Amino acid sequence: MGNRSGILVRLGVDGKHRPSFPGRKRNRRVTVLARSERVLGLTGRSRNIFKLILKTIRLKREAMRANRDPEGYARSLGVRLGTNVTLLGIRPGTFSTEPWLITIGDNVWITSGCQFITHDGGTLIFRREVPDLELTAPITIGNDVMIGRDVTILPGVNIGSRVIIGAGSVVAKDIPDNSVAAGNPARVIKTADEYLESAKKRSLHLGHLSGPEKVAALKRHFNVE
């Protein structure tokens, strides 16, 4: 029983310890998993259930890391981040299976629900015909960029500097500097300069505020008690 307890503690499923694998590399996790299955005597269905439990624990841990320190989490995956990058609502899988092919510049905001896809999964159905068929390409984002909610960025896309991508867009082609793009597929709908001139005319002049002070000012403006 002592040996079993030790394995459970190392795997973090004993109810008393935080889940933890001895190292980040997959081969080390596989070694621990194999030992666990032998010590616990798992076979067949119980073995599959055990693997599912461990996968759930791992994904939960990843989600907690991403929520606690999204920029640090992205860097730990290999994403190259510039300075003053804000990542909101990042979750496991946001940066696809090749996060090290993603480069993000300075002064960039990426909001909840965004997805970076660095490979074309359509090749999978043709692997019997062409075993080495592979379409993978990097994604690059310039400086001073806002990516709206639920945007999908496809392989090989370069988004320039001083760019806004509208919520829900699917970016399949490059977006030039000084642009506002939206839609599926995303297309340029105006220049960033045009957006700025329009925004200045409609501004509430509260952008310099933050936190409770901004909330209070907005409530006053909209007569909300």
Q: Is 11 helix (H, G, I), strand (E, B) or coil?
A: helix
Q: Would you say domain 70-202 falls under CATH 2.160.10.10?
A: yes
Q: Please compute the mean of the pLDDT values over residues 71-86 and round it to a whole number.
A: 94
For 69, other C-beta atoms within 10 Å of its C-beta total: 14
Which tokens hold the place of 36?
């666990």
pTM score of the predicted model? 0.74
**Domains in the chain: boundaries:** 2-67, 70-202
- Render pLDDT for 164-212 as a digit per residue (tens, 0 to 9): 999 999 999 999 999 999 999 999 999 999 999 999 999 999 999 999 9
Residue from 133, 140, 143 nearest 155 by CA = 140
Q: Please compute the mean of the pLDDT values over residues 87-106 and round it to a whole number.
A: 93
Q: Where are the beta strands (DSSP E) in the chain?
A: 80-81, 85-87, 102-104, 108-110, 115-116, 139-141, 145-147, 152-153, 158-159, 163-165, 170-171, 179-182, 187-191
Q: Please compute the mean of the pLDDT values over residues 105-121 and round it to a whole number.
A: 96
CA distances in angstroms from 43 to 29, 73, 124, 194, 220, listed in the order given:
18, 35, 31, 64, 64
pLDDT at 20: 40
pLDDT at 121: 94
- pLDDT surpasses 60 at 27: no
Of residues 122 and 31, more confidence is placed in 122
For 19, other C-beta atoms within 10 Å of its C-beta total: 17
CA 92 to CA 62: how far, in whole Å?
A: 6
Sheet holding 152-153, edge to edge: 115-116, 152-153, 170-171
Q: Where are the beta strands (DSSP E) in 25-178?
A: 80-81, 85-87, 102-104, 108-110, 115-116, 139-141, 145-147, 152-153, 158-159, 163-165, 170-171
What is the four-CA torsion angle of 139, 145, 151, 157, rounded to 10 degrees? -20
